[in-house]
Structure 1
Amino acid sequence: MAKVLLVCGSGASSGFMAAAGRKAAKKANADLEFKARSDSELGDFLQGVDLLLIAPHLKYMLHDAQEEANQYEVKVAIIPQKVYGALDGKGLVAFASDELAGK
């Protein structure tokens, strides 16, 4: 099972997004596990993660997050605004799957 960590400023909106992702993954029988944390907790939760997804409003932190994630060989991407803004769990599952597959 691929582990996906979502981060936002406080962990609240990414928590809603992760819940939508878990629901959609279950419905689609996708082998993905979504968790959410605040950006300040990032370093504590990267180990064992396959993909780090950053909320679109935090794209300014991409470079720093990438440097931190590289230590654990974790892929990093920004969640598309249209997926994040609509809490589109199905879109999140598709996006995460594509990122993990290197598309």
Structure 2
Amino acid sequence: MRILVVCGAGASSTFVAQRVRRAAHERGLDYAASAGTLRSLPIDLDACDIVLVGPHLEADLDGIGRDAATRGVHVVLLPPDVFTDLDGSRTLALVQGSLAQGTLSARPLLTHEKE
């Protein structure tokens, strides 16, 4: 499974990608996770199975979804509190939930639960 985490400049997506990669590794899953930007997305989409979109890019979600759909890539909007997921477990759950549903969506498939 190849996961791409997208943000505006690539900084915050790097942290999320590292955390989800670590969480997957700890569970024995053969997942790769990398970071990207909106600018690199047209090229990066060819090398991923799922795109996790930073919450600050919600306005770009429809365009990302259209581009991803042509390649059969899942798209998930990350919840606003994704950066508090320090061990990557909730983000990994979003990936697994998306894949379990087997649907391609430009809208959040799962969102964080309010406490």
Q: TM-score, normalised by structure 2?
A: 0.82
Tell me the number of residue pairs that the alignment of Structure 1 and Structure 2 aligns.
101
**Counterpart in the other structure of 1:51:** 50
Q: Deviations over 1:15-51 (max 9, x none)?
A: 0110011111111112321111111110011113111
Gaps of 5+ in 1: none
- CA distance in structure 1 between the aligned counterparts of 2:97 and 2:65, rounded to whole angstroms: 18
Gaps of 5+ in 2: 103-115
* Equivalent of residue 85 in structure 1, options 65, 83, 86: 83
Aligned-residue RMSD, C-alpha: 1.3
User: Partner of 2:61: helix, strand, or coil?
Assistant: helix
Larger relative contact order (C-alpha < 8 A, sep ≥ 6)?
1
1:20 equivalenced with 2:22 (yes/no): no
User: Quick check: 2:6–2:52 contact (8 Å CA) kept in 1?
Assistant: yes
- CA distance in structure 2 between the aligned counterparts of 1:52 and 1:46, rounded to whole angstroms: 8
User: Partner of 2:9: helix, strand, or coil?
Assistant: coil
**Counterpart in the other structure of 1:94:** 93
**Counterpart in the other structure of 1:29:** 28
- CA distance in structure 2 between the aligned counterparts of 1:9 and 1:70, rounded to whole angstroms: 21
1:86 aligned partner, one-letter code: T
**Counterpart in the other structure of 1:39:** 38
- Higher helix fraction: Structure 1 or Structure 2? 1
